[in-house]
Chains A and B, each alone.
Chain A
Amino acid sequence: MTFARLIFAAALLAVSTAALAQQPQSAADPASTTCSFSYSSGPLTTFTRYCLSANGNIVQFDSPSGFEYISNGGPLEGYGICDVNPNVAYYDYASTDSGNWGPTTVTSPNATTQVFVRTTADGIWQLKQTIVQIKASAASTGSVKITMALKNAAPSAGT
């Protein structure tokens, strides 16, 4: 490599570093195990209770009362996507996340539903989670229905 090429490479590296430093930082919500939205239903024998984080994770789930499934030992529940080409992963499991999600917008359309909308930090994927309480009855435990709508918002097609 000639001296001129070395100078050019050094200059290119300096410019690239400066450009990276000027990129806007994501205002991503950090992973959270905090209970933000709590639901319960049913009599003693079918009692069902769960709690959602602000990012759309189930961080606690017991049924009947005191029979816990998720929060024992620290909750790890949530969602992940992989953009197969170019092999980029995005995930949030409450106790840990991939660090490449944007902030979450939460709405409560009714007493049994929470909607969580979140876009990846690169703006390519938008995930809308609709989490609905199916109430317990005297004959049946309750349940949690999760609908995940994933939108490709990329300027070019993904896979």
Chain B
Amino acid sequence: MTLLRVANVNNGPVATNDEFVSSFNAAFGQEPGASWGLGLTTNTFTFAHNGVVLSPPAPPDPCHYVTNIQNFAIVGDGAIGHVYAITIPKGATKTVAMTYKPI
């Protein structure tokens, strides 16, 4: 299974000038000038996972989310997210946790 959480982050009145970056454990989107923004950080490390930035921030198909992934820091219109790759046997439950926090 692929499990995805995503948020289109638009800081301020201009949606196309925000700064985005991601790492294994987090993704951030902020208003230019490091003034303010939103981050999404994983609290679960037991599955393969990755923070992602998607641009353009079109609603991602969880089966094809890689289409809009940006592998480098970008300036533009984007979304932050986190992706987990999890094997869930019949009858089993797997749990992940993450936190949105202003930056």
Measured CB to CB, the residues of A under 8 A from B are: 48, 50, 58, 61, 63-64, 67-70, 72-73, 75-84, 87-91, 93, 95-96, 125, 134, 141-159
Contacts and interface: CB of A to CB of B under 8 A. Distances in A.
B62 A80 contact: yes
Majority secondary structure, A binding face:
strand
Q: How large is the interface on B (under 10, 10 to 19, 20 to 34, 35 or more residues)?
A: 35 or more
B100 to A, nearest CB: 5
B97 interface: yes
Contacts of B3: 79-81, 148, 150
Nearest to A147: B97
B99 A146 contact: yes
Contacts of B95: 147-150
A37 to B, nearest CB: 15
Contact of B88 (A48, A89, A150): A150
A73 B15 contact: yes
B86 A150 contact: yes
A81 B38 CA distance: 23
Contacts of B7: 58, 69-70, 76-77
B1 A89 contact: no
B68 interface: no
